[in-house]
Structures are given as structure tokens and as C-alpha cells.
Amino acid sequence: MERIPLVYFMVLFPVLVLGCFTWLLARHPTSLYPPTDFKDERNYLEAQRIARATGALVAANLASTSGKSPDQAVAEAVAAIDQAPRRGEEGRCILWVDDRPENNRLLRDAMREFGIDVHIALSTQQALDALRRQEFSAIISDMGRVEGPQEGYVLLEAVRSQGLRLPFFIYAGSNLDEHRKEALRRGAQLSTNDANELFRQVIRTVSGDVS
């Protein structure tokens, strides 16, 4: 009987440590890097930026419907940040079309840490109006909106019919292979429900790194 508490401790302690680390990374990522760890201020600021982006991406993964465990969310977010090109030209802006933009706040935060501004449109018409007024580096759209269950495709067709070749990414609830292929067939660059994949592809595209 005296071994039972020890067994519980050995099983639960790693989970507790991982949970604390995940919480710290998601909520207070900049606390992981004291200024004394770096030789100059630029390196420190860069590490702070990467930490904030990683924390936002981890939180976006945990808030998604992908069902990822905390350790998987951390590992995949770190890998996505590591694979993303370093901060490129400032002032780049993407158009994000979603009638529930609060669901994507964390992912937008991660992108902004990489120098990408985000303009939000709540409908297809708002998106088309924005495209007439401003130049964007890429478009992200959800699929179903109040306007219709396949409104992402409606917007994509409208954009392509105007001769706009902007990179178009669909961020929806499905990651089925058939939906990914259909999006590519219609002229999109990607359809996914994975925050890491969307982040990685958008950063690469906007930065001009399409390798």
C-alpha cells in the first residue's frame, strides 16, 4: 500500500510539469528568455518575438477542433515556427475573411509577430470591397458563413474571375483529402484545419519562400 502514492507521483508528475510548461509557453512566453541569455539587444528582441509567436501558435492549436494533446500542440508549434522564414519585409498585409474572427485571434497574433498585418472581412462582399481599395499579399477564408455553406469557394471564384492571382488559403473545419484536392482544383493554394500548416504556408508564401 505504501507504494501506491509513489506510483501516482511517478505517473502524474511528468504530466504536471508538461502542463505547467504549456501554460507558461502559451500565457507568458517572454518569461522564458531573460536578457542575460543573449549577447545583444537584437538577439533578445528576436527571441522574444519568436517566443510570443510560439505561445500564440500553441494556444491556437489547443483552442482548435483538431483534438491535439498539449505535448503534440507544443511540439508541432515549435516545429512550425522553426521552419518559417525569419521576419521579412515589413508592411505586408493579408486579407482574412471569416464571420467569426474571434476564433482566429491567436493565429493572427502569431502571424503579426512575423511582420504580417491582417485585415479582417466578415463576408464575401466586404472582402471584394477591400480588394478594390487595397493591395494584399494573400487571402485566407473560412468555408461556411452566414451567406452559405461553401462561401469560401464563392469568394475564390469571384477573386479568380477578376483576374487576381493572389495566393488563396482555406482555413475550415475539415482536413479531408477530398476537400483539399477540391480546393486545389478550384485554384486555392491550400485547404486545411491545421493551424501549424496554415501558419507555415502563409509565412512562406508572403515571404517569397515557396520551397
* DSSP-assigned letters across all residues of 106-143: HHHHHHHTTTEEEEEESSHHHHHHHHHH---SEEEE-S
Asked whether the beta carbons of 141 and 101 are under 8 A apart, the reply is no
Q: How far apart are CA 46 and CA 39, in angstroms?
A: 12
pLDDT digits (tens, 9 = 90+) for 153-195: 999 999 999 999 999 999 998 889 999 999 999 999 999 999 9
* Look-up of cell digits 493572389: 166
pLDDT digits (tens, 9 = 90+) for 27-56: 555 555 555 555 556 666 677 778 888 888
* DSSP-assigned letters across all residues of 149-184: TTHHHHHHHHHHHTT----EEEE-S---HHHHHHHH
